[in-house]
Amino acid sequence: MNMLKLLPIAIATAVVSGQLLANEQQENSRFAIAGYGDVKYEDSKVMDSSAFSARFIPIFLFSLNDKIHIEAETEISIDQQGETEIELEYADIHYFLSDTTTFTAGKLLLPFGQYGPYQHPSWINRSVFSPGIYGGIGGHGGYQPMQGLLPVMSDIGVGIQHIIPLGKNQKIFFDLYMTNGLAAEAPHDDEEEGHDKESTLEGNEEVDEHTLELPELAFEARSGDNNSDKALGGRISYAFLPGVEVGASYYTAKYDDDQKLGFTATGFDINWIGNHYIVRGEYIKTETDDFEEDEHEENKVTTFDRNGWYLQATFMAGKMFNVLQGTDFVVEYAETNKINEAERWAYGINYWLDSRAVIKATYEDTTVHDGEDDKRFAIQYSYGF
């Protein structure tokens, strides 16, 4: 056959093959990008300033095959000094062991409570700010005076989750994890000069527990550990779908180099969703060990207890009144007790432009027992993509 006659057939074959390959690749993509971002104006009394801020938080998703899935979330923002900050929120690999069991390794969101692992993205959180018991993570710009009980969202290690479906509308979730855990914060300059906490306690025999200072702990995830002890934890929850989920969480780790001092957190959470309302709440209790000198000037381990809780109620007025379509009203109360006591009320109004873009306005009033109170107002435009 003449080669010239074969040429159009070859070209046509190549075009059709290329198209088929492209279609196949398009139908079975390996990569997707999702995420969220926000722009915020925040005015704070305690910081005596007001400022705009912005964050962009892409989530990179890869499906290697039906069993293996990779995900990574990075938060890109600009700090108060004008430097661009890039933070790896999580980066992990899931292996779907069975229909109901998933193994995860990497930097993972700790399944403790509901706010950290599930509700902290700004287009999901119904308030501009994070709940008081979580400190400033995921919400406040700069300093905020309410000291969180478990100010950590992710750590490096491994985890496993298992689901037990109980009929169509009920499930039990199990999450277990082992991570590097927390460490003692490096001593400050004044502590190195001999003005550490122990010496402060020595000179004050009638110490009011409200004035006690907790050991400073570093919760940030690191690819390293100051001891061989690993943080262990888990969450068990029961979901009566689609309305109610209640859970109990646990976290424990030794934080000092000699593995003598421990930190333990226990939590209970509820997420209650109705046709026109959402109620979210969490209670966290922590036990933090520290050395204290006894009458023989020997160190003994003392445990400091703290606890706190928050309850956030959202009334989705738009689902009840047509004229208020897309409008939510939010009220939240939080308190921390025993050490670094504080209470906070927050009131908000949200307007949903569509199902993934919201303008939120929140006013927050914080009373701190031994410190400066704060009043804060913020407007945030948040979007999921």
Given CA atoms 236, 241, 114, 37 in this order, what sign does their dihedral have?
positive
CB of 26 or CB of 228, closer to other proteins: 26
Q: Which residues contact 215 (CB under 8 A, 6 or more apart)?
A: 184, 185, 197, 255, 261, 288, 289, 290, 304
Q: Closest separation between CB of residue 251 and other proteins, Å?
A: 10
* Nearer of residues 46 and 72 to other proteins, judged by Cβ: 72
Nearer to other proteins, 188 or 356 (CB): 356
H or E element: which one contains 35?
strand 31-44
Nearer to other proteins among residue 250 and residue 347 (C-beta): 250
Q: Is 338 left (phi over 0), alpha (psi -120 to 50) or beta?
A: left
Closest distance of CB 163 from other proteins, Å: 5
* Residue 9, H or E segment: helix 3-27
Q: Which residues bind other proteins (CB under 8 A)?
A: 26-32, 34, 59, 61-63, 69, 71, 94, 96, 98-102, 104, 117-119, 121, 123-124, 161-165, 168-169, 171-174, 176, 232-234, 236, 239, 241-243, 245, 250, 252, 264, 266, 271, 273, 275, 318, 325-326, 352-356, 384
Dihedrals φ, ψ of 126, to 5°?
Answer: -80, -10
Q: Which is nearer to other proteins, 217 or 265 (CB)?
A: 265
- The minimum distance between CB 256 and other proteins, in angstroms, equals 17
Q: How far is the CB of 41 from other proteins (least distance, A)?
A: 22
Q: 343 with 147: CB under 8 angstroms?
A: no
Nearer residue to other proteins within complex by CB, 111 or 145: 111
Size of the chain in residues: 385
Residue 204 beta carbon to other proteins: minimum distance, rounded to whole angstroms: 31
Residues 6+ apart with CB under 8 A from 319: 275, 276
| Element containing residue 103 per DSSP (H, E) | strand 101-109
Least Å distance, CB 348 to other proteins, is: 16
